[in-house]
Amino acid sequence: MTNGSSQGLFVVVAIVIFGIFVLISYLLFKDNLKPSLSRIFNDSLEQSADYLTGVANQEYLNFSTTNGNGINGLTSSAYNEDGSIKKNLKTLALPNTIRGRDLQTIDFTNSGTKFQGVEKIVGNSNLNRVTSTANMRSNTILELDFSKTKVTNLGVQDFLRDNTSIKKLTLGEHFTSFGYAPFQNSVLEELTLTNKTPITDLSNGFFI
């Protein structure tokens, strides 16, 4: 037998032995493997669906009615076992509905660290209210895109006060009012206005 034939036979034998090992392992541990394999398969399906639809799966959103029907962060299922956020949620595109209701509010005030890992939030067409980020403890959000929303104002005051992460903010065509000192001590670098109605307190928007 030539060296080439010997090496080929060795490879075939190795593959057969490995196959037998995998089969025995599956038969011995299939009950333990099923939940893990099922979780991996489900995660892959959900992430694929998110990519196809362009919006986040509702099960990842923490429903809240404290400041209207909406969300105040993400659920624990939005994170991997090592604590990192699922890749498809780094840009969080909000669906129009949640639990059969219009998703109208992002409650940053009561979010704590529930948005940790999110880098960009894209508001939906039903969104009409956002609360102040002054008490939010998530520090990874770099951009808020409210260009397609019905948000008309940034609350009474202090929308981005002392915020150390959000650098870009886009406001939609319905926007009319900043409120008092919305960007005080923040790191905001870029503000884009697409409003079709007059802003009543434009000077307040640049009070720092």
High-pLDDT (> 70) share of the chain, %: 76
Q: Determine the pLDDT at residue 199.
A: 85
pLDDT of residue 92: 97
User: Which DSSP symbol is given to 2?
Assistant: -
The pLDDT tens digits of the residues spanning 165-192 come to: 999 999 999 999 999 889 999 999 999 9
Supply the mean pLDDT for the chain: 85
pLDDT category at 49 given cuts 50, 70, 90 is very low
Q: Is the CB of residue 187 less than 8 Å from the CB of residue 163?
A: yes
Residue 190 vs residues 115, 182, 201: alpha-carbon distances, Å: 21, 14, 18
Over the stretch 99-151, which tens digit does the pLDDT of each residue have? 999 999 999 999 999 999 999 999 999 999 999 999 999 999 999 999 999 99
Q: Which of 6-15, 36-45, 71-80, 178-187 has the lowest mean pLDDT?
A: 36-45
Q: How confident is the model at residue 55 (pLDDT cuts 50, 70, 90)?
A: confident
Q: What pLDDT was estimated at residue 33? A: 53
> Sheet of 129-130: strands edge to edge?
61-64, 70-74, 105-106, 129-130
30 falls in which pLDDT band (50, 70, 90)?
A: low
Say which CATH class 47-208 falls into.
Answer: alpha beta
- Average pLDDT estimate for 39-59: 59
Give burial (CB, 10 Å; 0-12/13-18/19+) of 47. middle
| 40-46 average pLDDT score | 49
Between CA 160 and CA 162 the distance in angstroms is: 6
From the number of C-beta atoms within 10 Å of its C-beta (0-12, 13-18, 19+), residue 24 rates as exposed
Per-residue model confidence (pLDDT) at position 198: 86
pLDDT of residue 1: 54
Task: Please give the angle made by the CA atoms of 187, 72 and 132, to the nearest 5 degrees.
Answer: 40
The mean-pLDDT minimum among 40-54, 175-189, 192-206 falls in 40-54
Instruction: Give the domain ranges of the chain.
Output: 47-208
Q: Which residues contact 168 (CB under 8 A, 6 or more apart)?
A: 142, 143, 144, 188, 189, 190, 192
More confident residue, 15 or 145: 145
List, in sequence order, every residue forming a beta bridge with 66; answer none if it has no partner.
Answer: 68
Secondary element (H or E) of residue 143: strand 143-146
User: If you average pLDDT over residues 44-73, what whole number do you get?
Assistant: 78
pLDDT for the residue 39: 53
